[in-house]
Amino acid sequence: MTDRPDAVFDLGLQAERTALAWQRTALAMAIGALVAGRLAVPVFGAGSLVVAVLGVVGAVVVLVVSRRRYRAVHESLSARGDLVAVRSAGAPIATLAGVGLLVALLALAFVLLR
């Protein structure tokens, strides 16, 4: 006997599309940080690799937090029909902004010091 899948709360699947968008964003963050770190190695040496690793760690944080948020949204919508119990999405947005700023500063320093 198979388990019945969770009922779809909304036919538009907005929460699912948002979760997929955050996954794409985390992947883009990781790749962007790695590419920026790799391109900056000739100018900054190992310091640029530290920035790349921090960018990848930030991408993992965004991915984990966004998955937790998706689960909370799905459970809240399925059980209660509203999002009262779900916290705001401040953590992944702040992490995204921080990693973006870090990579932008690395790129600016690369252009100015090259």
pTM of the model: 0.75
Segments making up each domain of the chain, as ranges:
14-113
Half-sphere exposure of 79 (CA within 13 A, CB side): 10
Supply the pLDDT for residue 31: 94
Is the Cβ–Cβ distance between 3 and 74 less than 8 Å? no
Residue with tokens 């699947």: 13
Supply the pLDDT for residue 28: 93
The Cα–Cα gap between 109 and 104 comes to 9
Is the Cβ–Cβ distance between 83 and 35 less than 8 Å? no
The first and second tokens of residue 82, run together, are 């509203």
Supply the pLDDT for residue 103: 81
Per-residue pLDDT in tens (0 to 9) along the chain, 114 residues: 555 556 655 656 788 888 899 999 999 999 988 998 888 888 888 888 888 898 899 999 999 988 988 888 888 877 777 776 677 778 888 888 888 888 888 888 888 887
Secondary element (H or E) of residue 18: helix 14-44
